[in-house]
Amino acid sequence: MNVAIVTVGDELLAGETVDTNSTWLASELTDRGCTVTRITTVPDQIEVIAAVVNEYRAAADAVIVTGGLGPTHDDRTMEAVAAAVGRDLEHHPEAAAWLTSEGGYSADELDAGTTDLPAGARMLPNEAGVAPGAVIESIYVLPGVPTEMKAMFGHIAAEFSGEPIYTEVVVVDEPESALLDRLETVQQRFAVDVGSYPGEHVRVKFRGGDPEAVTAAADWFGQQVTVADSDTSEEP
């Protein structure tokens, strides 16, 4: 399953807020066997959000969008997603019912627009906040607040799956530039993905769907290099 991630917010692009959502989501999705094909941050602009979402939903099995939910003037994600799929943004009775029954709010406490979702969307309850999320076609819209996003992802995690990916890491006590010939050879000999990550030591990571091939590649490579005495490198 291929998944694209879109994070929304002027504050992310200005460097005022660190985008931890995409990193967390990418890790969760990878652990579930999905392949994250794109991660993009866009401003709080309806036309930009809609264009990117449309581009990515045509190229991926699912798109996860985080940020820009709520009734304030710069919360434009729901409107943009509605535009991307050619639907109106409208009051969602189920969202209102959940907020008043489970969320503990009275109808007059909710700001106008809080329960507006794209027509026909499936509402995702926000158990850690107020603004609901939504699923419309292959697009999953989640809050930008990390605690809210993580809680809401729990409701949809089972919808993301793929073949298991197996990983082995060899930590090498040699310069990365000195490993080029052996990196090329291991990729030719074994049907696995290989990545190298320099740091205090060079971490060479082997990934693939066949655990025996991954282990064989790591074992072979480990015999061709000077393996570090201890794994003190930072995990890539």
Averages of pLDDT over each 10 residues, the chain, 236 residues? 96 96 96 94 97 96 94 84 95 85 59 81 91 95 96 96 89 95 96 94 93 96 91 49
Distance CA 72, CA 57 (A): 26
CA–CA–CA angle 49, 55, 59 (5° rounding): 135
CB 209 within 8 A of CB 166: yes
Please give the pLDDT value at position 129: 85
Please give the pLDDT value at position 40: 98
User: CA 18 → CA 49, 67, 130, 144, 146, distances in Å?
Assistant: 19, 13, 22, 11, 11
Please return the burial class of 158, using the count of CB atoms within 10 Å of its CB with bins 0-12, 13-18 and 19+.
Answer: exposed
- pTM for this structure? 0.81
44: Cβ contacts below 8 Å, ≥ 6 apart: 8, 9, 10, 68, 74, 75, 76
Please give the pLDDT value at position 107: 53
Please give the pLDDT value at position 233: 44
Question: For the packed helices 77-84 and 46-59, what is the interaxial angle rounded to 10 degrees?
Answer: 50
Q: Which sign does the torsion angle of CA 124, 49, 1, 22 carry?
A: negative
Please give the pLDDT value at position 187: 95
The label of the residue with tokens 């990418």 reads 26
